[in-house]
Amino acid sequence: MAKKLIIILMVVAVSLSLAFVTGCESDAQTGALIGAGIGAIAGQAIGGDTEGTLIGAGAGAAGGYIIGNEQDKKK
């Protein structure tokens, strides 16, 4: 039962992240949002607790922002 709940929460998190992507003004913001969503899912899958989820979200947001910022510079 717990695995099903985790899968449902992951699907909801990804869906919400994708819904907000269209509102970002730059690639850096979009990258940070997508990175945070993916990082949160990975952190939950790896750590299995809130701490892992938050660390994953933070690391994903930072990585996504850096990649998006470089794409903005190329434009």
pLDDT the model gives residue 66: 92
For residues 64 and 66, what is the distance between their CA atoms, to the nearest angstrom? 5
Section 19-35 average pLDDT: 75
pTM listed for this prediction: 0.68
User: Residue 1 pLDDT > 80, yes or no?
Assistant: no
User: Residue 58 pLDDT > 80, yes or no?
Assistant: yes
Q: Read off the tokens for 14.
A: 């990804």
What residue segments make up the domains of the chain, in order of their start? 24-75
CB 61 within 8 Å of CB 32:
yes
pLDDT for 29-48, tens place per residue? 888 888 888 888 888 888 88
